[in-house]
Amino acid sequence: MSFSTVTEVRGLNAGVVFYGRSPKPLERLEKIQAPVLAHYGEKDPGVNQDIPATEEAMKKYHKSYAYKIYPGAQHGFHTDTSPERYHSEAAKEAWAKTLDFFKKNLQS
């Protein structure tokens, strides 16, 4: 929902996506007004298959898009209430990057 929301909500200063699917159609990315940071798990082929096309579209529309694919992590890797998915190393790194991103983009 985060990636889709950032394409529709005006006035956002930053958007962070945790293992979220790219909006369809990708032309929706043209409406993004805020920088986007995305976190993906390496073992999430259903979501990750769209990363190259998303990156290409974000470049095409001159949008700020940074992402990381976390080795060994799967979809839902930040969910500490789901032991079979939780990946503590990836979760900690992703959260630290998220806080830094928000600090950079939301503090005046």
Residue type, 64: S
Residue tagged 């979760």 (tokens): 91
Provide the pLDDT for residue 107: 87
What confidence category does residue 95 fall into, taking pLDDT thresholds of 50, 70 and 90? Answer: very high
The yes-or-no verdict on residue 108 having pLDDT over 70 is: no
Cα 10 versus chain centre, distance:
18
Residue linked to tokens 């930053």: 14
Q: Report how far residue 59's alpha carbon sits from residue 63's, in angstroms, rounded to the nearest whole number.
A: 6
**Is domain 2-106 in CATH 3.40.50.1820, yes or no?**
yes
pLDDT digits (tens, 9 = 90+) for 64-81: 999 999 999 999 999 999
Write out the two tokens for 77: 């890797």
Any bridge partners for residue 66, and if so which?
37
Six-digit token string for 107:
């503090």
Give pTM, 2 decimals.
0.95
Indicate the domain borders of the chain.
2-106
